[in-house]
Structures are given as C-alpha cells and as structure tokens.
Structure 1
Amino acid sequence: MIFGAFARKKFNTLVLAAIAALGLAVQPASAQDFRDNLSDVETNPAAQDAAAAVGEDTSLTAEETVTDTSGFDYYGPEMILGEPTASDEDIWASMTFQPQYTDNGEYALWMHDALLLPIITVISLFVLGLLLWVIAKYRRKANPVPSKTSHNTLIEVIWTVVPVIILVVIAVPSITLLARQYQSPPEDAITIKANGYQWYWGYEYPDNGGFEVISNMMPEEDAIAAGLPPQLAVDNRMVVPVGVPLRIQTFGADVIHAFGIPSLWFKLDAVPGRINEKMLTINEPGIYYGQCMELCGARHGYMPIAIEARPLAEFNEWVQTQPGGMTRAQIEAQAASEAAAEDAASASAEAEDAADAEDEAEGEAEAEADTAEADAA
C-alpha cells in the first residue's frame, strides 16, 4: 500500500509537470519570459526595446506589424519565394526539397534529382526484381533439389566492383558540394551577425554602423490578415542585398540555436561563447523563410527566420532608415574625411613645430651675437 501511494504521488507529479510544460510550449513567441531573459534585457539595449514591445498592446494592424515607422516599402506576400509547401496543396512538393535560390542549393538539388534519386530507384527496383525472381525460381516446387553452389567468382567480382563504381560516382559531386559549402567569404563580403536568443533573433550589421534589428514571430491572426504564412512571418525581417557575398556570423546568447533557411541551402549553429561563420550569396530578390533548427527550449518552435533579399541600392536605402545605419560608401567617406582631418592636423602640428624650432634657432643666434659683443667690449 505504501508503494502504491508513492507511485500515485509520483504519477500525479509527472502529470502536473507535463501539463505545465505543454502550457509553456503552446504560448506564442511574442509572450517572452522576462525572468528568463532578464540578463539579456539588462545588457542589450535592443533587447530592452524588444522586451518593452512584448508588454505593450499588440492591437496593430498587419501592415503596421510588417513595416516600421521608417517609411521603407517592404516586400509583400507576392515576393515570397522560400517557404514550405503544405501536403494538401502539393503532396510531392511537401515531401521533397524547396526550390533553391543559391548556387550551392541548385547544385545540391541537381545532385539529388539527377544523380542520387535515379541511382536509388534503379538499385531498389533491381533488388526487388531479383528478390521476386529468386522467390519464383527457387521455391520448393520448382526446385525440389537445392543447389550445392557455394561461390561464384564472376558474381562476387561484379557485386564488388559495381558498388565501388557507384560510390565513386556519388563521392565526386558530394565532396565538391562539401568543399563549396566551406568556401571562405571574400574580404569585401558584407558581414551580418545573427544572434540567437530565447526565443527570438537579433541581426547585427557591423559593416553598416553596428545597429541591431530584433525579430519576433508575428501573431498568427496578424500574419493571416497580411497574407503571410503563420508561425513563419516576423515583425522585422533580416534585410540583405541580393547577388552580393554575405559573411553570416552566428552566436548564441544563452543556449545553442541554429540559423537555417532550407530554400537557401544554409544552416549554421549559433553556439554561446563562439562565433561561427559561413558565406551566403542569394541569387534572386524575395522573401525566404526558415526556423531555428536546434532544440533550444519550450518555445523553440516559435522563433522563425525571415530574410528579405533586395537589390544593393534598395538595401543601402533600408540601411539609412535604421538608427545609426550607414552605407559602406558613407563609412568610407567618413573614414577618408577623418583621415584627411588627421593629416591636416598633423601637418599643422609639424608646421608649428618647425616654426618654433626656427624661432628657437634665431633666439639662440641672437644670444650668441650678444655674448660675442659683450666679450668684445
């Protein structure tokens, strides 16, 4: 009886814990837990703004949620290129890869569709046919006297050489794709840092003034009203230039996250205490959706990623609408102006030093002349 009471008590505790965990899991990402994120809010001004916004009334319209007060014209639903497909819309598209919009993604998609899928299909059909043939030919009625054959050199050579050839054919493009994914970004690549928080993203632009954009999941009703996919739409997208090499850096502010966008063939872990880096070049303007791809807590499923790729001129226009945002040309002009001012100040200081030295030399010469006259007198 004592054991039964103990077991019932433990069972009730587990049930209550499961209900509490379920309650946390179903809360939307906009309901951030201030106690969990207190350290972030205290140390990160951008996080303070995001936390303050959470506690405010979210009765904004969908259009106000998508666009900020800068007046910048963000892309609408018609520009969505990278998003998952529901099975009731297209059963085949829901089971395969999303359309790819990077060179690496297109290469990987070709490798899957033109190489791996045919090889897998042929091998599967061959093995199935061979199995059916063996079942039919060597059943008991058709083969009352079992074969005593123990080996066949030709068959053994064939089933050794053919798989080796198949593996080599697969290995060459696989290694090529692996090497392409680890290609280092060029020196002039634009750096964007994706910071993972529980449970939202922050995007820093160190090459454009160092400002940070905080991105939270948009409330489902607002996303649907705006024609955007629920649980993928966000209030502030990560805006990037199209056709330009990007140096994406990831960092985990609290636990391990992962920055992943399937339609861009991009995934990079965000680990606390270290910065990971990978190159990304997007081929077409549009909106691309992804999600955190590393289990990071109760609301892991509520921290989507939305990238808006714009032509470089429009990206620079957007940068200038952000607090402290500057284009590279402006930063270079400012640096050149500061360097010129430093050079002018240095030249002026050198001229003053030269004038002081000349005055000092004249004074010494006059003193020597006076001394000589005094000695002569």
Structure 2
Amino acid sequence: MTKLFPIKGLVSGLFAATAALPAMAQDNLEIIGAPRDGAMGFQPAATELARDLQWLDGMLLVIITAISLFVIALLAWVGYRYNARRHPEPASFTHNSPIEIAWTIIPIVILVLIGAFSLPILFKQQIIPDADITIKVTGYQWYWDYAYVDEGFEFSSYMIGAPATGGQNMMTPEVEQQLVDAGYSKDEFLLATDNAVVVPVGKTIVMQVTGADVIHSWAMPAFGVKQDGVPGRLAELWFTAESEGIYFGQCSELCGINHAYMPITVKVVSEEAYAAWLATAREEFAGLPQSFQVASN
C-alpha cells in the first residue's frame, strides 16, 4: 500500500496548529532522560540496551583500574628496588622468558574476556528485531524530520527557541513562554523541541536514520542508541523503552554552525495515551485515516 507524505513546505504552516500536541502527550510525564548540572555518570537506563552498555562500562572500568594500579605499583617497586643508588652496577641479562610469556598471554586473556562480553552486546544492537512501530528519521541543517511509516504522516521537530520557531538560540521572555506553552520550563531550554517523537512504552521501535544534506547523528543516551544519518544511506537502530517519561537527546555529529541547537525529544507514554495522540496526529499531520488503514489491511 502506497503511503502519502505531506510536502515539506507545509511544515512551517503547521507550527501553530500543532502547538498543543506536545503538552497533550506530556501529561503526568516525568523528565527522566536529561543532563543534570554537576552530575557524573550515565542517565538512568530506560532500555535493555542502555543497561547492557552501562554494565559493560562498569566492568571495563574495573579491569582498567586494576591494570593501572598494578602498573603504577610495579613502576614504584622497580624504581625503589632497582635504582642506581641501590644497584650501581646494572644487571647484564637481556631476556626473561617466563615474564615475556606472561606479558603476552595475560593481555590476550584479558582481551578475549572483554570481547566475550562486549561482542554479544554489539550484536544485540546491530540485529534489528521486528518492529511494532517504524519511524524514519531524517536529519537536516538544523532540525529533525520524523515519518511514522505505517501511519502515513510526518512532521519536523525544531528546538524551541531556535530561529525557525521565532527565537534566536538564546533565552528570552518570549522563548520562556514558548517553553511553558509546550509544557516545559526554562530548565529544558536547548533540550525541548516543538514536536516530540511519541512512542508507547514496552513496544519495539525501529528508527530508520538518514541525512538530507550532511552527516547527522541521532543519539538518545538513556536508550543506549546512537546512529549516524548519512545522506544517500538508510541505517537502523532499535529500542524498547521500559519507563514512561520524557527523554532528551542531541545530534552527535558536527553538522554545521547550528549543530548545538538540534536536540531530540522522545516522549514514552502508555498505549492508551499513544493511541489518543496518534488519532490527533493523523489529523494534524495529514496521516492516513484509521478507516482507510483498516480497509486497506
């Protein structure tokens, strides 16, 4: 069945008509995936992929810390035990076979151990499962375009306060009011977008990522996903969000002068809230009517 998508030139005209959509999908949602001032470490893991990556990072941290401490201790002991004052006559041997065998075998064992845990996690990311919802993501300078492939509609997503939404990439009273109208606060400036990606909790989401002009990168830290969008190529990532809430990401590939003003907002909602948003979005973004979809299927 052929899907019809709206002309991009109409997107700017939809800004005013869709102003209420983010707030509607945001009711009673907690902001979970967001950077925090002065905080260290990862954002809370909202997917299995993110938990795997954070666990792997912790394991690698233990290994490299142990290696670093061992090397520092070894250097300190050798510096103390074999310095010129204690040994004015240096040793004359040049080889020590047991030590050379050990420092060859032990790193191999460590690398094999790391690979045994990291490769399955990599394969889990790269093997794309069957999708419950497929969304095509296209990066532009400097905004995102999202097409809900199975629903026949698409929309563009700009940072609130960007020039395209009447801002100047800086906080002003007008921009603060835009944030409030969309259900955010000024703390979400540079993070919140006028139109968010809305997905249901517990469903497998496949994002098809590409770029329209230069290389962009769709990254969502709390989901443990990041995929470059390369013009002329279509790549995929997937995630299954486990907690309802609002999550923020960012374009993570230097893509031009306004690269820093290209955020990502994903709202994970209940299936009931998603169905309600979908019904409204079909009308606002010229999607395929539900009756037409049922008849076509």
Sort the TM-score into its range (normalised by shorter chain).
0.7 to 0.9
State the distance in 1 between where 2:188 and 2:198 align.
Answer: 18
Q: Give me the whole-angstrom Cα distance separating, in 2, the residues matched to 1:315 and 1:326.
A: 16
**Segments ≥4 residues shifted beyond 4 Å:** 329-332
Percent identical residues: 37
Matching of residue 134 in structure 1 with residue 78 in structure 2: yes
Please list the CA deviations of residues 149-173 of structure 1 after superposition, one character each: whole Å capped at 9, or x if unmatched. Answer: 2111221121112111111110111
1:45 equivalenced with 2:7 (yes/no): yes
Tell me whether 1:214 sits opposite 2:175 in the alignment: no
- Identify which of 292, 309, 331 aligns with 2:251: 292
Give the match for residue 333 of structure 1: 294
Structure 1: gaps of 5 or more residues: 1-42, 57-63, 337-377
Aligned with 1:307 (options 250, 266, 269): 266
Between 170-179 and 279-288, the greater mean CA deviation after superposition: 279-288
Alpha-carbon offset, residue 241 of structure 1:
1.4
Instruction: Pick the structure with more helix per residue.
Output: 1
Q: Which has the higher contact order (CA 8 A, sep 6+)?
A: 2
Quick one: which of 75, 78, 86 aligns to 2:26?
75
1:197 to 140, 154, 162: 140
- Tell me the amino acid that sits aligned with residue 90 of structure 2: P
Shift of 1:45: 2.9
Give me the CA root mean square deviation: 2.6
Q: Distance in 2 between matches of 1:155 and 1:142?
A: 23
1:23-62 matched pairs, under 5 angstroms:
45-50=7-12
CA distance in 2 between partners of 1:291 and 1:71 (Å): 18
- Check whether the contact 2:208–2:237 (CA below 8 A) recurs between aligned residues: yes
TM-score, normalised relative to structure 1: 0.66
For the pair shown, which has the larger CA radius of gyration, 1 or 2?
1
Aligned pair partner of 1:99 in 23, 44, 48: 44
Query: Aligned pair in 2 of structure 1 residues 69, 51: CA closer, same or farther (>3 Å)?
Result: closer
Deviation at residue 85 of structure 1 after TM alignment: 2.3
Supply the AA of the counterpart residue of 1:335.
Answer: S
Structure 1 pair 118–71 and aligned structure 2 pair: CA distance change class (3 A): closer
Q: 1:185, 1:246 within 8 Å by CA — same for their partners in 2? A: no
Partner of 2:123: 179
> Judging changes above 3 Å, is the alpha-carbon distance between structure 1 residues 313 and 224 closer, same or farther for their aligned structure 2 residues?
closer
Q: Which runs of 5+ in 2 are unaligned?
A: 162-170
Query: Map of 1:332-351 to 2, 5 A cutoff?
Result: 333-335=294-296
User: 2:166 — aligned with what?
Assistant: none
Q: For each residue in 1:131-183, what CA deviation from the matched residue of structure 2 results, as whole angstroms up to 9, or x when unmatched?
A: 11111111121112211121112211211121111111101111111110111
